[in-house]
Amino acid sequence: MQFLSPTRPDASDIDVDADEFPAQSALVPADSVPGRSLVIVIAIMTFLAALAANVAILVADASVEWRSDIAREATVQVRPTPGRDIELDVTAAAEAMRKTPGVRDALVYAKSESEALLTPWLGEGLDLSELPTPRMIVLKLETENRPDFDRLRMELERVVPNAVLDDHHVFIERLGDMARAAVATAALVFILILAAMAVAVASATRAAVATNREIVEVLHIVGAADAFIAQEFQRRFMALGFRGALIGGGGAVAFFVLAQFLTRRWRATGGGEQIEAMFGDFSVGPSGFLVILLLVGAVATLTGYLSRYIVLRHLWRLG
């Protein structure tokens, strides 16, 4: 009696090629409930990752504009002092600032305009005429020929001792720190979303391997190349990942286009002005769309190669 050898044949004796493997018997079905669920998960994750990436870009760009606008101005406060005429002090301070190199113009705020600046803190309806309200002078600075602020302070102290110059450098530094913190937070959220997506893909791949365990093991035993089996999973999961990423990326593009449209319509309202001041008009520009496009490709590639790695590890354990 002749017994069959239980040992695995050599791969050179029996070779299973991808072209000979029938399409109708794919290891991972293209349209299954787990496959559709994975597409939905990848679409949601891609959408959130695209939002996080583009919010970071918007905040970074807005921060550059904020700091650029603030750096083009400085302010002078002329405080009321007993025995001095504040109107003469304001006029003298403005004239001295206009003559300083680097100062393009000096705009003097009227008493009512200076009092209006206190309204957000003191509320409306208060009579501030009896209070010693400082008078404000806004200096318009030249962008290329920056003034020497130490010289400005010395000149201001010589002309009007009760005036104080603020070059906004402290506010600019705090604004930069806030923007960097916001960008770092958005980047961390982006990384966490990609990590969660990788976990979801890994779980789906293990589930697919477990579902088709008998087929995978039989192909492995009869000599099918590990690369061929892994390639089947990689190709199927890459297609699922690309489909989900395309849906999520398209949703992100639609979101930003709709947000830009609504922001332009709400621009006349107070809330719309505040949103536009913080994030601009939600116009992501070419760089934002390029990020979304790269994200779609990266998600599809990550999904395919992660599934390939997991399948190869499973086959290596089989020996």
Q: Which residues contact 221 (CB under 8 A, 6 or more apart)?
A: 8
Once rounded to an integer, what is the mean pLDDT over residues 223-231?
79
Contact 104, 141 (CB under 8 A): yes
Contact indicator for 166, 73 with CB cutoff of 8 Å: no
Rounded to an integer, what distance in angstroms lies between the CA atom of residue 54 and that of residue 48? 10
- Where are the strands (E) in the chain, listed by range? 73-78, 103-108, 135-141, 163-166
| Intra-chain end-to-end CA distance of the chain, in Å | 29
pLDDT digits (tens, 9 = 90+) for 245-286: 999 999 999 998 888 777 777 665 555 555 655 555 566 778
Q: What is the mean pLDDT of residues 56-68?
A: 81
CA angle 197, 199, 202 (to 5 degrees): 110
Lowest-pLDDT range of 48-52, 72-76, 271-275? 271-275
13 pLDDT higher than 60: no
43 falls in which pLDDT band (50, 70, 90)? very high
Q: Supply the DSSP symbol for 123.
A: -
pLDDT at 104: 84
Cα–Cα dist 210/222, whole Å: 19
Q: Is the pLDDT of residue 3 over 70?
A: no
pLDDT beyond 60 at 213: yes
Higher pLDDT, 258 or 126: 258
Is 5 exposed, middle or buried, given 0-12, 13-18 or 19+ CB atoms closer than 10 A? exposed
Q: Which whole number is the average pLDDT over 73-77?
A: 85
For residue 223, which of 315, 311, 122, 299 has the smallest C-alpha distance? 315
Buried (b) or exposed (e) across 135-169, using 16+ Cβ within 10 A?
bbbebebeeeeebebeebeebbeeebebbebebee
- Return the pLDDT at 22: 43
Q: List the chain domain ranges.
A: 23-67+181-318, 80-161
Give the span between the Cα atoms of 296 and 206, in whole angstroms. 23
Can you give the pLDDT at residue 18?
42
- pLDDT, one tens digit per residue, over 146-172 is 777 888 888 888 888 888 888 777 777
The predicted model scores a pTM of 0.69
